[in-house]
Amino acid sequence: MPNRSILALLFSLLCVFALALLGCDSEQAPQLISVTELTPREAEVGDRLEINGSGFPQGKPARVTFRGALYRPGERPAHGAVVDAEGLVVGRDVIEILYTEALDAEFCGIGERRRHTTFEGDVEVSFAAAAPGAPPVTTVLHQVTLDLRPPEDSPQVLAERAEEGERTLAALGIHPGEPLPERGILVKSVDAGSRAEEAGILAEDVLVAFAGVRIGKLADVLVPGSVRDIEVTLRRGATAREERRTIRTLGIDRTVPTDIFGAAFIAIVAAFVVLLFFTPSLGPVLWLEKRFAMARRASGAAQVRSAARSKDRAMIAIVTSLFLALLSLVQRSLVAELDAPAVAVVLAISMAALALASGSLPATRVGHGPPRAPGRLRGVLSVVTFELPVMLALVGAVSAAGSLRLRDIVAVQGGWPWEWLAFRSPPHFLLFLAFFAAACKERLAGAGSAGSAGAGSVASGLRSLAAAEHFHLLALAGLCVTLFLGGWTLPVLAPGVQHAEAIWAAAGSVLFLAKVHGLVHLFERGRRALVGVDAQLLVRVYWRWVLPMTALALGASLVWGYLRIHPEIQALVAAIDVVLMALLLLRVALRTVRVVRHGELKGAPEPHLNPFL
């Protein structure tokens, strides 16, 4: 009964919305407290920020919300950002906030995207009301500027960014002096007729901010890609008053001109269309396509599940979906320290232990008797073999994010497909495909035949195996979505907004569950395509081809990260990867329709491409 899985998913989504909407407050808070100042105006990990004001309840925790724009060197500003922090009233009319590593990650980013950040906006302070059910007491401090500096990068990275900043100033016609102790860069001289002179910048001026970023070193002077002009803040003479100038920057970037990106995108996509739809398929590729397409036909004609197995799958889907939704909703606390490698290792060990204990090891049985000891060991090795691509793909995701934590891996990805890690580069795309290929192999032999086993203890055992296999499949899909497909991040929303509003957090959980169940469907299609294929043959294919290619893709992803590809070129590559994935799915869909309507592809003419074309 396929409708049970749909009902299970709908029930899970309704529960997610109910959990999230419980925290929604529609009433406005009364103005009973006030804030006057935030000090200091710059912070590093381990520092303490203080908010001064009046009316604070002594010894009470405060919720502090930063709403505004985040400015980072070389990046476009993130407007509408929301960052939540916890404060504590420690003295008379003083709230203290500890600037932790987690808070630094919210402001400055994670991994390769971590940058010195300048925040400009409002700071909202709220306290829980004493009366149950009453709205919180809230006040706002407007027009706050806060400079946030993450831990220092390696000397090599700092030197590269400093050289790039010096080149940027030279292209603008500015010859800088040494950075000043009180922050800022002294202008030694300005070239005649340069962009800087045109903007009214003079020698002996002090550059205080560049494109919204408060300047502390030359590495902070980077131009966001493809902007026509930026705003520079300077201090002139002995006065402390700051002035702002607008300076033209279009054309000073020495990377590939963005005008050719559109043409390059069209040309590469056209090449993929020709290769995928107008050239003969290679033998192994054609075999895989036929198996995948025939799996759809077989599932529509002969796949019959017992009512008991359908009930088991529905219950597992509901419980697992609620657990995954809970992880995405409360990830700031529950998942904050949850490591991706730990999750993958637990999944692999649990499946190997279950296979060893139950005797359901692939290709180890002799007749109808229990598997022998050497066969058991070979079976465990077989189970572990199909987990190795998952582990290697996980290493690639962790190295790209610069963190082991699931929360951080999701944070470095965006909501749009071209911002997902799976499409960030060709090596990461191959790692995602390796993960997919590994998940398409059934771990426990006999689990797929639980629906036709009849009654008795054998059928009960097979049902248990099928239930464990389905749970493992859901867990793999959740891990894959978290690592490579953006997790629960919604598109469009600015950083922090999704977690600050309950309705957006619930929507993110719904999106996460939709990705997981869609991926489970694809995994199951892949597993049905491999039904009947000799298990030892699959093990040999994985050892000879899948594992070496996954290892090469992992090495290439590490090199890709080391090269520090320009963001706009990386965006072009990501867009091409997204289109390539869509074309691959379209090709498989067309082949499936062809098989369902007309039978096997055997004897069907292959498309022919003119060699001259």
Kindly report, residue by residue over 435-480, the tens digit of the pLDDT: 988 888 765 555 454 444 444 444 555 667 777 778 888 888 989 9
| pLDDT value of residue 70 | 92
Q: What is the DSSP letter of 545?
A: I
Q: Name the residue with higher pLDDT: 120 or 33.
A: 120
| pLDDT value of residue 366 | 43
| pLDDT value of residue 301 | 44
b/e string for 200-224 if b means 16 or more Cβ within 10 A? ebeeebbbbbbbbbbbbbbbbbbbb
| pLDDT value of residue 29 | 42
The whole-angstrom separation of Cα 129 and Cα 91 is 20
11-25, 219-233, 258-272, 380-394: least confident range: 11-25
Q: Under the phi-then-psi rule, with left for phi > 0, alpha for psi from -120 to 50, and beta for the rest, what region is 434?
A: alpha
What share of the chain has pLDDT > 70, as a percent?
A: 73
pLDDT band with cut points at 50, 70 and 90 for residue 281: low
> Kind of pairing, strands 137-148 and 174-179?
unpaired
Q: Name the residue with higher pLDDT: 47 or 18.
A: 47
67-81, 161-175, 523-537: least confident range: 523-537
The whole-angstrom separation of Cα 163 and Cα 345 is 42
* Interval 327-374: pLDDT, tens: 777 655 555 567 777 788 887 777 777 766 655 444 444 444 444 444
* Interval 245-268: pLDDT, tens: 999 887 665 555 556 667 777 888
Is-contact 231 211, C-beta < 8 A? Answer: yes
Residue 433 confidence (pLDDT) above 80? yes
Give the SS3 label for residue 608: coil
C-alpha triplet 391, 531, 460: angle, nearest 5°: 90
| pLDDT value of residue 551 | 92
The whole-angstrom separation of Cα 468 and Cα 450 is 12
The whole-angstrom separation of Cα 483 and Cα 462 is 31
Beta bridge partners of 51: 38, 95
**CA separation (Å) from 322 to 2, 144, 398, 504, 511?**
19, 40, 26, 17, 13
Is-contact 145 40, C-beta < 8 A? Answer: no
The whole-angstrom separation of Cα 412 and Cα 421 is 8
Task: Using CB atoms within 10 Å of the CB of residue 249, give its burial: 0 to 12 exposed, 13 to 18 middle, 19+ buried.
Answer: buried
The whole-angstrom separation of Cα 325 and Cα 157 is 38
Taking the CA atoms of residue 505, residue 510, residue 515 and residue 520 in that order, the dihedral angle to the nearest 10 degrees is: 130
| pLDDT value of residue 577 | 87
Q: What does the pLDDT average to over 231-255?
A: 79
Residue 14 confidence (pLDDT) above 50? yes
292 is written with which tokens? 């995948």
50-64, 142-156, 341-355, 507-521: least confident range: 341-355
The whole-angstrom separation of Cα 61 and Cα 48 is 15
Tokens 């066969």 -> residue? 375
| pLDDT value of residue 9 | 54
Q: What is the DSSP letter of 126?
A: E
**Of 520, 540, 539, residue with least CA distance to 528:** 520
Q: Name the residue with higher pLDDT: 271 or 376.
A: 271
Q: What does the pLDDT average to over 80-96?
A: 88
| pLDDT value of residue 270 | 84
What share of the chain has pLDDT > 90, as a percent?
A: 12
Residue 422 confidence (pLDDT) above 80? yes
145 is written with which tokens? 């500027």
| pLDDT value of residue 561 | 79
| pLDDT value of residue 117 | 93
Task: Using CB atoms within 10 Å of the CB of residue 101, give its burial: 0 to 12 exposed, 13 to 18 middle, 19+ buried.
Answer: exposed
The whole-angstrom separation of Cα 176 and Cα 160 is 17
Give the SS3 label for residue 258: coil
- Mean pLDDT for the chain overall: 77
* Interval 117-159: pLDDT, tens: 999 999 999 988 777 777 888 899 999 999 998 887 667 777 8
Q: What is the DSSP letter of 490?
A: P
pLDDT band with cut points at 50, 70 and 90 for residue 28: very low
359 is written with which tokens? 């005797």
Residue 31 confidence (pLDDT) above 60? no
pTM of the model: 0.71
| pLDDT value of residue 23 | 45
| pLDDT value of residue 59 | 80
